């Protein structure tokens, strides 16, 4: 997995020469623990599937059901963790 650092930490640790070039400091900054964000949307499946409801556009997992069996279109897929904001379908 790629290593990431925060911009603020990098700017604090870098030392510059007279011409504005970084001379040292980047390797001393610890890498951040990050994961890539997956994006998706809840897709209605009633017309294409005999089951009613919604599925994740990334992993095809059904949306969870809540009170009285209604589908809960949450902000994240409970199966793959995709953020349901519609970016990058």
Summarize pLDDT for 20-51 with one digit per residue, the tens: 776 666 666 677 777 788 899 998 887 666 66
Strand duo 15-16 + 22-24: pairing: antiparallel
The model's pTM: 0.56
With cut-offs at 50, 70 and 90, classify the pLDDT of residue 2: low
Higher pLDDT, 69 or 58: 58
Is 74's pLDDT higher than 80? yes
Q: pLDDT at position 5, please?
A: 73
Measured between alpha carbons, how far is 39 from 21 in angstroms, rounded to an integer?
37
pLDDT-above-90 percentage for the chain: 17
CB 59 within 8 Å of CB 77: yes
Measured between alpha carbons, how far is 83 from 61 in angstroms, rounded to an integer?
13
């Amino acid at each position: 997995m790629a290593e990431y650092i925060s911009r603020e930490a990098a700017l604090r640790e870098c030392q510059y020469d007279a011409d504005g070039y970084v001379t040292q400091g980047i390797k001393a900054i610890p890498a951040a623990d990050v994961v890539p964000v997956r994006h998706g949307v809840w897709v209605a499946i009633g017309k294409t599937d005999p089951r009613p409801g919604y599925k994740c556009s990334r992993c095809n997992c059904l949306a969870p059901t809540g009170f009285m069996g209604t589908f809960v279109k949450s902000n994240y897929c409970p199966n793959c963790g995709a953020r349901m904001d519609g970016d990058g379908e």
